Chains A and B, each alone.
Chain A
Amino acid sequence: MSSANLIRIALGAYLLIFFSYLLGPLVVMSLTAFNSSGFPSVSPWACFTFEWFGVLFEDKHIRDGLFYSVVIGIGTVILSVSMGLAASIVLTQVWPRFRSTYYTMIIAPILIPGVVLGISTLVFWDRVGRFLGVEDGSFLYGLFHNGIFLTILGQSSFIASYAMLVFVARLQRFDPGLTEAALDLGATHTQAFRKILLPFMRPAIASASVLAFLASFENYNTTTFTIIDYKTLTTVLAQKVRLGINPSISSLAFIIITLTVFAALIFEAVQRNKARKDAVRRGKLKTGDKGILPSFLRGNPAAIMLVLLSFVVIAMVGTAQSYSPEQCKIRVKEERQIEIQKRIDALKKARAEQQATEAAEAEAEIPAKPAPATSGAFGNVFAPDNLTTEEEEVDVAPEAGSGAFGNVFAPGNLSDEGAEAEEPPKPEAGSGAFGNVFDPGNLSGGD
């Protein structure tokens, strides 16, 4: 008995850990989308805000990237699902002796690094263009150097293999006798394919399509070579990370997560509804009973959750229209200012004491910068709390050091408040190297 309990507890703990591992990052990321803090973070919670959604919708790069990601995703689904289906059917028809060789060949693209696929797609179509002698400016030349065309081909070259694996698994359960039966009853080969094999493959086609779309949507390493002058969401995000990110990316993640949950709930609800209708049809369930709920919701938790979630989302969008975090922001800012002021005072005091003992050396530096204290303070908003490293305080003069560090994330993040900080405090000798690592050139985007 007790050992059974122990197992149950262990299992519960395991599940808890497993799910927090699985979902934790998503939850945290979603939360950061609602924090007014300029860097995606949760722990110093500033103000609840919807502003990052606005930032996201305003961002043309992300919008374009999203659009092309979807276009490329659809193209890849069409191409790779049809190639995968054809390949899997050939696998069942090919002479048994060649089957494993053929299989290896078809599977190979999965094992080849995406980078290689990307480069070779690029090179290959360029060569094809040259071989055919297409001229710069002609349609074919344009096509062979078109980022969307090349990305769809490049991605499909390995996504088709994934699709094929899905189809092979399903095809193994197909009774070829069914095709023969259809032929025997007068169907042509095309009819037998369309009316017998294809309906049987439909669930596999659906899952392969989803798989292919997701694989295409999140692909970076092949796309980055083949996309040329276009952009996808992944390439845009990669660029952004290099320049410093802000929570609008979290809000994008939140939207994607919400859509995924919606899709899953819709799928489940439809499935349950179908099962219920089947049961009614077979007479296992009475349909006549009157309930408060419409029939679609009856005995269908997924549908109920779907409706609830829809309400939540509508309510959220509604509040977002009227809600303004300005009040809170000002308060937070003031609080910070006060706190920072306190720290500076404390530091000053410490310096003063230090000065007293080591009067000779430090004299020149300390009184030199009373003014930057405010701008330095901005840096402090991010620096000491988020990034506290012991070194920093030791190596770098306090005001300047934290200011430089804050700037790493600053201009993009602080666009609203940052105006005051446009002139970063001159780092002192010790911190100069540090500031250069994150060259101010990188930061230009924010202003």
Chain B
Amino acid sequence: MSSGVAVDLENITIRFGDFTAVKDANVNIKGGDFFSFLGPSGCGKTTILRAVSGFLEPSEGRVLIGGNDMAGIGPNKRPTALIFQNLALFPLMTVWENIAFSMEVAGASAKERRKRADELLDMIALPGQGDKLPSELSGGQKQRVAIARALCANPDVLLLDEPLSALDLKLRQHMRTELREIQKRVGITFIYITHDQGEALTMSDNVAVMKAGIIDQIASGHEIYDDPATPFVASFVGENNVFRGKIKSIDGGHAIISTNRSGDLVARITPAQVGNLAVGDEAMMFVRPEAFEVAPEQGSTGQNLVSAKAVNEEFEGNSFSVFLEGDGGKLIKMSVPNLGQDRISTQGHDLTLRYEPSNAVVMPAGELASE
């Protein structure tokens, strides 16, 4: 099986008439990477994938696969295989014929095809199911057949367009691990599209977060979660409490922001925005629910303390979500790990919350992901 091949998007812009679906995207994907595009519905993820697989030509910019410019090369000539958002299994062919379709069009004999299809069926843990029709398979099985069909073409790059979106939660989690394993085994480049951030974070080496045709940040999942580059990334990936205000002072990597409703608070300047903040700027500070804890000394004030009243509590299994109302009705969410039976509910109490300044990030104000 071929090893991974790099994919580079150079200043890609894609327009449909007057509408710009993708604007000036620059992405370098290393060979053998598991790379994800993450973004809300309609932000242009599928469009990018179609440009890579050759179903549309970018209005501007170049697509390079393995260093070769792909301009003018049709989808059937590119070393890519696409797993469609709706899978697009051929309904009139049996499972094995589906899997071996790429060999059939290349002129392989029925015997060779059958053999290869059976190998792949073993790999996707569906041995002996080759003679069924796709309509006779479950959602997860179809999924795996689609993967096998794409792999059978021996692509250098496998493109996956939200392949797990139609599955239920359990199966989705199972398929995530399975996909990751397959990727490690075959070693080819995976470009994965999803609007499910959990999926992107668990599986990917690198993630590009998109918003309305623009790529906001490209980094590892860890970095995206801990050091979001923009308010959009901070609010889209995972849950976050946002505090708005003006920068009061800057000291090295940290800044003090005088918030509108919760007083002066300290936070780390997110690495991508170091140098972009000045005193007096409109800014946003983000603290994750799990970064809050109940302060040891209640009632005190400080630059990493927020006071609020717990109004509601939800049990989530491994944790409790506590919803609090700060000054001026500001809503704050705190997540408390479930450590056992003897936790005392805080519901109805006035609390002082504390966070580590290094766990809070501040950046210039910007657009948030819509709730």
Contacts and interface: CB of A to CB of B under 8 A. Distances in A.
Q: Do A and B come from one complex?
A: yes
B81 interface: yes
A184 B80 contact: yes
A187 B104 CA distance: 9
Interface in B107-158: 131, 136, 149-150, 153
A175 interface: yes
A309 interface: no
A186 B88 contact: no
A180 B92 contact: no
Contact of A180 (B88, B91, B102, B104): B88
B55 interface: yes
A195 B105 contact: yes
B84 A185 contact: no
Interface string B322-366: 000000000000000000000000000000000000000000000
Contacts of A200: 91-92
B92 A185 contact: no
B101 interface: yes
Interface string B216-244: 00000000000000000000000000000
A10 B120 CA distance: 60
Contacts of A188: 76, 105
Nearest to B101: A185
A183 B75 contact: yes
Given A180-B55, A180-B75, A187 B88 contact: no
A199 B81 contact: no
Contacts of A191: 105
A246 B88 CA distance: 60
A183 B153 contact: no
B86 interface: yes
A181 interface: yes
A175 B84 CA distance: 12
Interface in A180-227: 180-188, 191, 195-196, 199-200
A259 interface: no
Contact of A181 (B54, B90, B92): B90
Interface string A167-179: 0000000010110
Given A188-B76, A196-B90, A200-B92, A181 B82 contact: yes
A155 B54 CA distance: 43
A282 interface: yes
B74 interface: yes
Contact of B101 (A175, A180, A182, A281): A182
A181 B55 CA distance: 10
Nearest to B53: A184
Given A180-B55, A191-B105, A185 B74 contact: no
Interface string A157-175: 0000000000000000001
B76 A187 contact: yes
Contacts of B74: 183
Contacts of A186: 76, 102, 105-106, 153
B153 A185 contact: yes
A177 B75 CA distance: 13
Nearest to B146: A181
Nearest to A180: B55
A281 B132 CA distance: 9
Given A195-B105, A282-B136, A185 B81 contact: yes
Nearest to A182: B101
Nearest to B106: A186
A183 B76 CA distance: 5
A183 B104 CA distance: 12
A152 B91 CA distance: 36
A188 B104 CA distance: 12
Nearest to B152: A185
Contacts of B81: 184-185
A128 B105 CA distance: 43
B132 to A, nearest CB: 8
A184 B75 contact: yes
Contacts of A187: 76, 101, 105
Interface in B37-93: 53-55, 74-76, 80-82, 84, 86, 88, 90-92
B105 A177 contact: no
A341 to B, nearest CB: 74
A196 B75 CA distance: 16
A224 B88 CA distance: 49
A175 B86 contact: yes
B75 to A, nearest CB: 5
B104 A195 contact: yes
Nearest to B82: A184
B153 A177 contact: no
A178 B149 CA distance: 13
Contacts of B75: 180, 183-184
Contacts of A281: 131
A250 B136 CA distance: 50
A224 B93 CA distance: 46
Which of A178, A185, A186 has most B Cβ within 10 Å? A185
B364 to A, nearest CB: 41
B278 to A, nearest CB: 50
Contacts of B136: 282
B76 A178 contact: no
A175 B85 CA distance: 12
A199 B136 CA distance: 19
A282 B81 CA distance: 31
A380 B74 CA distance: 83
A177 B90 CA distance: 10
Given A183-B75, A185-B153, A186-B106, A177 B101 contact: no
A433 to B, nearest CB: 70
Nearest to B79: A186
Contact of A178 (B90, B102, B105): B90
A178 B153 contact: no
Given A184-B76, A184-B80, A178 B88 contact: yes
Contacts of A178: 88, 90-91
Interface in A330-378: none
Nearest to B92: A199
Which of A183, A186, A188, A200 has most B Cβ within 10 Å? A186
Contacts of B90: 178, 181-182, 196
A182 B92 CA distance: 13
Nearest to B136: A282
Which of A178, A184, A187, A199 has most B Cβ within 10 Å? A184
Contacts of B102: 185-186
Given A188-B76, A196-B90, A200-B92, A181 B84 contact: yes
Nearest to A179: B88
A186 B131 CA distance: 23
A281 B82 CA distance: 32
Interface of B: 53-55, 74-76, 80-82, 84, 86, 88, 90-92, 101-102, 104-106, 131, 136, 149-150, 153
Q: Which 5 A-B pairs have the closest CB atoms?
A: A181-B88, A185-B102, A187-B105, A177-B88, A183-B75
26 contacts: A175-B88, A177-B88, A178-B88, A180-B82, A180-B84, A181-B82, A182-B90, A183-B76, A184-B53, A184-B55, A184-B75, A184-B76, A185-B81, A185-B105, A185-B149, A185-B153, A186-B76, A186-B102, A186-B106, A186-B153, A187-B76, A187-B105, A191-B105, A196-B90, A199-B92, A200-B92
Given A175-B86, A183-B74, 8 more contacts: A180-B82, A180-B84, A182-B90, A184-B54, A185-B105, A185-B153, A186-B106, A195-B104
